[in-house]
Structures are given as structure tokens and as C-alpha cells.
Amino acid sequence: MTHPNPLQEKLKELLMSQRLAVLSTHDQGQPYSSLVAFAATANLLSILFATPRTTRKFHNLTKDQRVSLLMDNRSNTEKDFHEAMAVTVIGVAQEVHEKESPELYGLYLTKHPYLEGFVRSESCALLQVCVQKYLLVNHFQEVFQLKVVP
């Protein structure tokens, strides 16, 4: 992304403040959603999440790397209709390896230090979603689209 604007700053604030996202993959046209711990890069070009290689989501990603993620700041109260913000991330996921991308592992583990044993295990994969666009919904009905320009 180039030249941050107020909308990008709100997006960055949301992504840095939240820890969990809903990841959506699919298998033969059937959608599949999972809750994942995530971290975003400061430039908003990538979202990271970890999963065991034995999971359905990892299996789905080996067939089709297209994903969406949903992050929000709702509190499950009436005020959410006026104040909550949600973002859908559209992108493509690929596995990253610690030897090739130690900074991405460091970023993920800085946000989720309690997951270090999990992330560094042989059975776990760290995935990087290369973001294509963000769809941000604010104040219940305001929808904005931000296309990512690397």
C-alpha cells in the first residue's frame, strides 16, 4: 500500500488490536471456516496464521490457495451496530519457512508468544496470506474497498 490515509490507519489499528480471525477456505465448492490467531505485517501486505498440517484448512489450502479472512472489533452489544468495524481480507495463502523468513516468524511470535512451541513444531505450518484487497465495513453500512499495491 502506498501513502497511508485515514482509512488505512483505521484498518491498521483494527488489525494490530485484534488477535483472532475467521479463515475461510473451500473444498470442491463447500466453504469451510476456522478460527485462527493472526498477525499482520506493518505494511498491510500480508496476514500470517499457523495451523497443523493435518487440519482440514491446511488440506483445503493444498488444493486451492485462495482464502478470505474476517476480523472485527465487536463486543456483542447493541452499540456494535453503530461503532463496530469489520474487515474481510481477500488473498492467496502460501507456506513460509523459518529459515527463509525468520522476520515473519518473529512478527507472528511477537503477537502470540504463547504459541511458540506450537508454531515451531514440525507438524505446524506458518502461512502467509498475500493480500489482494481489504473490504472494510464501518458503522454498520459504510463499506470501503482498499486494493493492495505492493
60-78 pLDDT, tens digit per residue, is 999 999 999 999 998 877 7
Taking the C-alpha atoms of residue 124 and residue 132, their distance in angstroms, rounded to an integer, is 25
- Give me the percent of the chain exceeding a pLDDT of 70: 94
Torsion sign over Cα 94, 47, 61, 119:
positive
pLDDT at 3: 58
Which is higher by pLDDT, 137 or 119?
119
Which CATH number characterizes residue 136's domain? 2.30.110.10
Residue 150 cell numbers, joined:
505492493
Residue-number span of the structural domain to which 36 is assigned: 6-147
Q: Is residue 135 part of a domain?
A: yes
Domain annotation covers residue 1: no
Domain membership of residue 23 (yes or no) is yes
Q: How many domains are contained in the chain?
A: 1
The answer as to whether 15 is a domain residue is: yes
